[in-house]
Chain A
């Protein structure tokens, strides 16, 4: 039995400790907001936060997350009020939307680390997240908007805010 906190709520899973977190989230817990794209940490579609840091859940075995805090797209703000979600809305960013959970989770972590990122910082931080539809220009613009708006909205300590804000 592996225990961890998922979006601030304790969960326990009876599964192979080698199973990547992605499949535990999707197939065991039914949390399909986190997407499968490559299975080898190449595309970023499965990005979640582990103790506030972005990780690729498709290569993170359950054994490595015992007793840790995991945050997923479902924990960000169920009503879409997080400033990153708001900026995504303002720029009408998504096309198909499949990679966007991962893009948003990476962007939230980026802004936590770099509150006012320049183009180069955004490029370098976000290059692990592929979007085949080609929403990169809008993602970049939305990240800048979110950076601008962030002082007036939430603080970015994601794991603490979920639930209460949802």
Chain B
């Protein structure tokens, strides 16, 4: 267990402060009785006994466990409590999950980077074990017996010799008076005794989803609330010149028209420049917006054209770039190689398009601001709202609703900043409702990119030279306004961490300035890097007439730990220590071998069908994917997909499976149809008719295999995505002989 020793006793007042089960729930509940927020479905009553920051127990035995991370479909509101409840020896039917407010007391709440479980597995076990120890001590004290004579089980503490027991509810008050044990004195369950960890526990929010009784960011309603819809400048950096305030005010039920504070670069999480229309309902706000007739000064980015930009990147990427990792002399080895191959791969801009467009509600009163938002990042929301309002962040309270999908979009708190600014200006509760058009046109986009690969092989078919280059506008530009090339953090996502055994290697980057807000989307730069590497390996296999499976094994090489730092790359390893989570080629090969054994990807197919494979390590987990497609009449049909994931120990195998299913489908949307294009600085797409995502009739049979493992838990939400696109285009090559190097596939084939 970790050396963490900062578990402290918190007062009931603190527990309430951090969870807002009294404050937030009451505010909502008294206004619209039909809406009970899912995140406070059962309030902690006055008899609650706080054991630590994450656990309090009511006298009736209800065990309140805080989930401090955001639920967006990954099952974290079930998974985190599973870990706590297991070490606590709780009765699951008595567990009540309480959503934590934004508060640094919890540590990081930034729910992205596939890290909720891997970062908090140990802490959550400590929280459970602490509370259990205090309950056991309370029972021992009550009975006047040594604590070694008692044990907790299924929501009660039992006296070994007599068999008598006291429920957690009966013990809670005495337990809350106990000294908090030191972490070093805690005992932990042996994994073989786990009751909830590793079990497919049903999602705690499922019943409410089935009856529509959920509260997402879009669903928050407060008394006297205004609904705001904002017309934002179509080009990033553009400003408002003029607008017809009176015409908009004249629309029925429009209450106010407010120009948003003008912002300059860097874009950060500030509001975009534009004009807000506030009305008594969303529809009227949208109607008022149509009457605004805003004229803009579009600024410098109006010259941005994504087609021309990509053509420029493709020209640059075939030239030698800036080296970020190298060994041997890849150029010399290339010159002397027996067989040579080179290829350029491109991925367009992408946008998240979660089913719930961003929405946030804010109230500003007496110098304090309270926000309700579908946010992946409540502490950043606190900080950015405070900054925008000019108040201390301690005066900003952030309630986290359910998220109708996140995928990284909702870790940018710009929409909460908008709501807070308008609440401050109007003095009324304001909900900012993003339309789908707003979401598609004003996102934080996945970077457009070009990758170039070249390799040389000797007579025996061994790869002796490998050059890879990447260029894409950096996420860092969003924060600096000046960064114009890929950064180490992004290059650590499936590029600088190339796990191949190659004697002559050069990994390089090229410049790529940014012209739109750049952000992170599920698996981030692993998307383009996984696609390019997975494709190039397949091309090498075809060129040298070995199976793709064999080519992967040849390139990965012997069982070993790969350390990119030894070749000059400052690998960031998803923020994890390299000792705990090294790149293990054995695990990488294992998921691939399991895939080949289980998927049938080695089996013969009809002439117009084919299998494609790829494998990738990201977020310290390993995933291999096999996809079977049919290409007929210029149309690609995806028939079947298999994935194998090694994420170490898994907490909830059913949610891991559902994440893998979702990752396959998210990856298919990217591979087959995902594309945002920009003309004159403005996004051309606007809704699901022109930014298409996968629909049911395009969704194949999906089979998921989870490697049983005792290794430390790795990421799950994102690692399934990176191998998908290459598996699809590799399968298309097998089925049709056509190699697709520029995504999406629907530029070439209908889907």
Contact = CB atoms under 8 A, between A and B. Distances in A.
Interface of A: 15-16, 19-20, 23, 26-28, 30-40, 42-43, 45, 72-74, 76-80, 85, 88-89, 92, 94-101, 104, 122-124, 126-140
B405 A96 contact: yes
B688 A42 contact: yes
B355 A130 contact: yes
B95 interface: no
Nearest to A33: B212
A151 B209 CA distance: 24
B282 A23 contact: yes
B402 interface: yes
B693 A130 contact: yes
Given A30-B34, A96-B354, A130-B693, 8 more contacts: A23-B282, A39-B435, A40-B689, A85-B210, A95-B75, A98-B404, A136-B696, A138-B658
27 contacts: A30-B35, A33-B211, A35-B404, A42-B436, A42-B687, A85-B210, A89-B202, A92-B203, A92-B658, A94-B203, A94-B210, A95-B73, A96-B354, A96-B402, A98-B356, A99-B355, A99-B404, A123-B696, A124-B697, A132-B354, A132-B407, A133-B355, A133-B665, A136-B695, A137-B661, A138-B658, A139-B696
Interface string B495-539: 000000000000000000000000000000000000000000000
A95 B253 CA distance: 36
B476 interface: no
Nearest to A74: B212
B219 to A, nearest CB: 4
Nearest to B701: A137
Given A16-B252, A96-B355, A33 B405 contact: no
A104 B210 contact: yes
Interface string B549-577: 00000000000000000000000000000
B314 interface: no
A60 to B, nearest CB: 12
Contact of A134 (B75, B253, B436, B663): B663
B696 A45 contact: no
B247 interface: no
Contact of A97 (B205, B280, B281, B353): B205
B218 A19 contact: no
Contacts of A43: 355, 436, 688
A139 B213 CA distance: 19
Contacts of A40: 436, 687, 689
A31 B214 CA distance: 11
A48 B73 CA distance: 23
A89 B212 CA distance: 14
B701 A80 contact: no
B228 to A, nearest CB: 12
Interface string B380-392: 0000000000000
Contacts of A92: 200, 202-203, 206, 654, 658
A131 B356 CA distance: 10
Contacts of A85: 210-211
A45 B355 contact: yes
A104 B702 CA distance: 21
Contacts of B202: 89, 92
